[in-house]
Amino acid sequence: MATRAAWSLGNMIDMEKYYIHIPNTNFEGAYYRAIDAIRKDNYRQAQDSIDLARELLDVELTTLVNESYNRAYSAMINAQLLSELEEVWYYKISPERRQSIYENWQKRMQGNQPIVDDYHRLLLTHSLCLPMAQDLQSWIKLANLCRKSNRLIMADFIFKELTRTILNDQINLNHDRSIINSNTSLIDQQLVKYEKAKYDWYCLTTTRQRLVLEKQNFEQVSLIEENINIKLEQNHQEQLKLIEDMKEMIIKECLPILNNLRKQTTTSTTSENILTGIIQNVNTISQLSSFPVTIKNATSFQTANQHEQRLRQLISKCYLRIGTWEHELFNITDDSILAEIMKNYKYAWKYDNSNYKAWNAYAILNYDAVNYFKQQQQNLDIFNDTYQILIAKMICCTISAVKGLFKSIILSKVKYCLQNTLRLLTLLFEYGQYHEVYEAITEGNRTVPIEVWLYVLPQLIARIDSSKPLVNKLIHHLLIDIGQQHPQALIYPLIVASKSIVHDREFAANRVLNNMREHSHTLIHQALIISEELIRISVLWHEKWYKGLQVALEQYSTNRNISGMIETLEPLHATIEHGSTTVNERKFLDSYGNDLTEAHEYIRRFQQTRDQNELIQAWHLYYQVFTCIRTQLANITSLELEHISPRLTINCQNLELAVPGTYEPHKSSITIRNIQSSIKIITSKQRPRKISIKGSDGYEYVFLLKGHEDLRQDERVMQLFGLVNEFLLTNDETRRRNFTMQCYPVIPLAPNNGLLGWIAQCDTIHTLIKEHREKACIPFGIEYTYAREKAPHYDRLPLLNKVEIFQNVLNSFEGDDLAKILWHKSSNAEIWLNRRSNYIRSLAVMSMVGYILGLGDRHTSNLMLDRISGKIVHIDFGDCFEVAMIREKFPEKIPFRLTRMLCKAMEVTGIDGIFRMTCEYVMDVLRKNRDSLMAVLEAFVHDPLLSWRLLKNNNNNEQQSTTISKTSSHLPEQQHYQSHLSIINEEDNEHESTVGEKIQQQHNQESGQVIRAVEIMNRVREKLTGNDFHREQPIDTPTQVELLIQQATSHENLCQLYIGWCPFW
């Protein structure tokens, strides 16, 4: 350590004094001896030391590489250091190889993990032959890496060294009359100042956050609070001074250099034109003698151009940074502040038109300004002059936002910028009826590839029946263009829209389909067959009648809702009156057709006579059928395709249609070769099917076919997860630790049917615990049985008594089932350790993302464990935006699932280790990218096809009640659980509605949806800014994570959950 410290400080005398005490048989000893030999130009001794170090490293590296890459990484860095030490010598003695050696160093460093110590060692090695001034960008990158890693002392030291080096370089250049070198040094000087200002701002911001936290802790002590307020004001003034200093740097230093460069460029251009003319004339004459004359042009023109471009980029960054800092310090509450920030962003992209960050910041500011003006006009009369002024401002900012968003999408490093595309759609849906906005979007659309819209197809399809003519026109043209170039991507969502019971929506979808038929007739025909038949087999007649009779029985016997009962039964009778088309349907009619027809006659006579005896007779028959179907369904575990859908067997061979969820633009489509003949039924209340489709590439694609569930919300959640994964992969800390979430394809086929990509090698936590306890001869619901013994009416107890019983249960049982499962299923300790680490990280990532999303209903059947990697995978996203927290019966009080069993499967420190660290990293990434997340979630909550779910008084939470019932059905004391489920179902299904009623509610409750959407967005904004606990000041990320963990593990919160959620686990 002392040797390296001396080297880092440039004190080579002390370094030599220290390294001689390191044995030569140690890698570090041989390495530092090689460094000292190269510094003294003693190549033979250096090579001997490098060879010795390699021999010492060989055993370690060979052993670790066979184990894992991560364990071998540090040894591989040492091997890289030895290779680059040799290259340092070649750099010194071979000037012609210097450029290639330097480029190789840069490429290697790009591939290295962003670890401060490794990066520093590499740069120190390079510094043996490459002065700091000649490798400025690398050292600046190291300083920024130190800042991001919170190693501020090291960052400060590097910036001081950079400043000193640049100043010395400038002094040396005062004796050098080379204009090129002078310009290079001046630009480097400004670059270092800019990066140092970024570092200073970070330090001031960190200090401010610490002072705010101290103020919260000492708010009752007036003297300390007053002292903190003084420091906060000083901090604010220093931030303002930093902004002014950067403005002064641009005006007094950068712009004069830029003007000087422009003069040089103009002079060089004139000279070059003269030279070109001379060359052309001379060559014309010399052609007769076949001796063309060539004059080597001076490189000053190109160099001046490069310097000008580099300086313009720096000025652009400075203006962008000023605008960003002003945006942080001042909220958009004043037009003058808004204009000042916008001016800086505009300068940023004017000086560098290819600066993505500048365009993106400009677009988001205008987007926020539109929302700001919209809020201001809410309480104004439309005939008010101020209202009209605000409308004009909104249109102006919308046009600017559209321009900036399209430019950002073009310049984005991400292939297709989802958040900005969704912002564009929000502006289109809201303000596209204004002709100026319509023209701006139409013009911008010509500049981006059509593939941009493929990733927001669900949102486009949701507004296909927009009542605004210009918006409708633009959406229609977009969908037609997509259909022409990418019909495989559009076909499935468009067919779903064409099945809508809303006439306008069905008509608009069919218009696009009819257009597609002109060029993709076969594809559409095949897609319609696949869609219709998959919907048919997702819910067979047996299941339709079982579900329908169950609902009708509840309406008849519990709610006495006779009209609702008849309305439920009529569509079922209409189905069988149309006749059968498959073997399965014919068997159904043979078994139950006569009874159902007779019961229907009783219902008709009741409608004519209102005689209750007719109803009783009808229900005598209906109940017989209901009982028989229930028994029959319990014995059916698989289905043969030829019996339930002969069209899929006969007509679906070697299709043009792509396998659902596999289409990617600019790649050859993986088409459907056939569908596996045997279909497995998953045992649960909804009875989903596991189907396998063979693709043209020879692989089997497995899906879960679900009926009775609207998967369009799950589809939107997968969009969000994909975006969050992008953020996690662009952050150094989270990318290095592989913090990503499992995504899978979601393909809606109809409003209540769809396909989910099968997650291979995964089991639910519920299933794993059940299997483990069966093998260990432990009663499955032992905790609940024990609680029932202590308190037979546990759910009716007051809170204090519930907590007492809950803690008693926890103290009586170990609750380490999951920890044992991870251990028993691992073949060796290394695999177990890797799986356990992945388990903790994935649990933490989903906990934070789920909290932001307001994801509820995280019972043990909605959490899956990957048998190979150990990662936790979440399924079923029906309860989002905290709807589970606001239901009347058994509301959830916890932000995410973090029960005792999950904690005991972690490391020895429990939640105070990898879990907490991961939560903090992920929450920090989410908070930094809050604008993008808000854009996606805003499109989510305003989606007309989903917003009905968000209403507080929504009575149709079928998905939620389904999962509650499904989980509870696995536990003992079935009747007792079902009594609790009936309480929830009474709330959720009190007015069981058809799809048509849901759509009607959507139109009737628009105002309620808007209010609820605003509440949701405000709540999400609070979470992403640290205001979710309603403190006086926003809390920092570690505090926020700590408070969330406290809520999630609170016994008071857990004991109030319904039993099917398994809070004891």
Q: What pLDDT does 220 receive?
A: 59
What integer is the mean pLDDT of 971-1000? 38
Name the band, by pLDDT with cuts 50, 70 and 90, for residue 169.
Answer: low
Q: Mean of the pLDDT values across residues 818-824? A: 93
Cα–Cα distance for residue pair 687/708, rounded to 1 Å: 10
Q: What are phi and psi of 220, to 5 degrees?
A: -90, -10
pLDDT surpassing 90 at residue 1032: no
Residue-by-residue DSSP string for 826-850: -SSHHHHHHHHHHHHHHHHHHHHHH
Pick from 123-127, 337-341, 731-735: least confident = 731-735
Listed residue (693, 756, 745, 758) closest to 719, CA to CA: 745
Position with higher pLDDT, 221 vs 516: 516
Residue in this structure with the two tokens 């000008």, named with its chain if needed: 308
Q: What would the 3-class secondary structure string for 861-905 be?
A: CCEEEECCCCCEEECCCCCCCCHHHCCCCCCCCCCCCCCHHHHHC
* pLDDT for 951: 54
pLDDT on residue 453: 93
Q: Taking residues 663-689, what's their average pLDDT?
A: 89
Instruction: Using the predicted structure, report yes or no on whether residue 858 has a pLDDT greater than 70.
Output: yes
As a whole number of Å, the CA-based R_g of the chain is 34
Domain 643-722+734-757 class? alpha beta
3-state SS assignment for residue 658: strand
* Residue 1002: pLDDT over 50: no
Q: Which of 200, 348, 191 is nearest to 257 (CA)?
A: 191
Say what the pLDDT of residue 502 is: 86
> Does residue 150 have a pLDDT over 90?
no
pLDDT digits (tens, 9 = 90+) for 687-734: 899 999 999 999 999 999 998 888 888 998 999 999 999 999 888 888
DSSP 746: E
- At 947, the pLDDT band (50, 70, 90 cuts) reads low
Convert 1018-1035 into a string of H (helix), E (strand) and C (coil): HHHHHHHHCCCCCCCCCC
The tokens of 575 are what?
């189905």
How are the residues of the chain apportioned to helix, strand and coil, as percentages rounded to the nearest 5? 70, 5, 25
- Percent of the chain with pLDDT strictly greater than 90: 43
pLDDT of residue 1011: 75
Separation between Cα atoms, residue 220 and residue 218, nearest integer Å: 5
pLDDT at residue 72 is higher than 50? yes
Task: Kindly list the domain boundaries of the chain, sorted by start residue.
Answer: 1-112, 317-535, 541-636, 643-722+734-757, 762-1061
Reading the block at residue 633, the tokens are 């369904």
Token pair, residue 841, equals 């990280």
Residues 754-764 have pLDDT tens digits of 999 998 889 99
Tens-digit pLDDT profile for residues 868-891: 999 999 998 888 888 888 888 888
Helix/strand number for the chain, H first, E second: 44, 10
Tell me the pLDDT tens digit for each residue of 460-472: 998 998 889 999 9
State the chain's mean pLDDT as an integer. Answer: 84
317-535: what CATH class? mainly alpha
> Given a cut of 50, is residue 176 above it in pLDDT?
no
Which helix (H) or strand (E) covers residue 497, if one does?
Answer: helix 487-498
pLDDT band at 295 (very low <50, low <70, confident <90, very high): very low
Residue 927 has pLDDT above 50, yes or no: yes
Three-state SS for 664-708 is CCCCCCCEEEEECCEEEECCCCCCCEEEEEEECCCCEEEEEEEEC
Give the pLDDT score at 1009: 67
3-class DSSP state of 10: coil
Mean pLDDT score, 903-925: 93
CATH architecture of 541-636: Up-down Bundle (1.20)
The sign one gets for the Cα dihedral 194, 199, 204, 205 is: positive
Q: Tell me the mean pLDDT in the region 424-440.
A: 93
Q: Can you tell me the mean pLDDT for 641-651?
A: 89
Q: Mind listing the pLDDT tens digit for each residue in 492-538?
A: 999 999 988 888 899 999 999 999 999 999 999 999 999 999 999 99
Residue 358 or residue 178, greater confidence: 358
Please report, rounded to a whole number, the percentage of residues in the chain having pLDDT higher than 70.
88
Give the total residue count for the chain.
Answer: 1065
**10 Å Cβ neighbour count for 346?**
17
What distance in Å separates the CA atoms of residue 777 and residue 789, rounded to the nearest whole number? 20
Question: Whole-angstrom Cα distance, residue 199 to residue 32?
Answer: 32
Bridge partners, residue 946, by sequence: none
Same fold, 317-535 and 541-636: no
Q: Is 572 a residue whose pLDDT tops 50?
A: yes
The pLDDT, as a whole number, for residue 991 is: 37
**At residue 963, does pLDDT exceed 80?**
no
Each residue's pLDDT tens digit, 1007-1023? 566 677 888 888 999 99
Taking residues 764-780, report their average pLDDT.
Answer: 90
User: Which of these ranges, 302-311, 314-323, 565-574, has the smallest mean pLDDT?
Assistant: 302-311
Band of pLDDT at residue 274, cut at 50, 70 and 90: very low
Cβ(635)–Cβ(545) under 8 Å?
Answer: no
Burial class (CB in 10 A: 0-12, 13-18, 19+), 1000: middle
Average pLDDT over residues 181-188: 66
Which tokens go with 71? Answer: 């364990």
| β-bridge partners, 674 | 694
- Residue 967 has a pLDDT of 43
Pick from 61-75, 216-230, 403-417, 786-800: least confident: 216-230
CA-CA distance, 713 to 878, in Å (whole number)? 7
Look at residue 200 in the predicted model and tell me its pLDDT. Answer: 93
The verdict on domain 762-1061 having CATH code 3.40.190.10 is no
pLDDT value at residue 303: 67
Comparing CA positions, the residue from 572, 1057, 988 lying closest to residue 795 is 1057
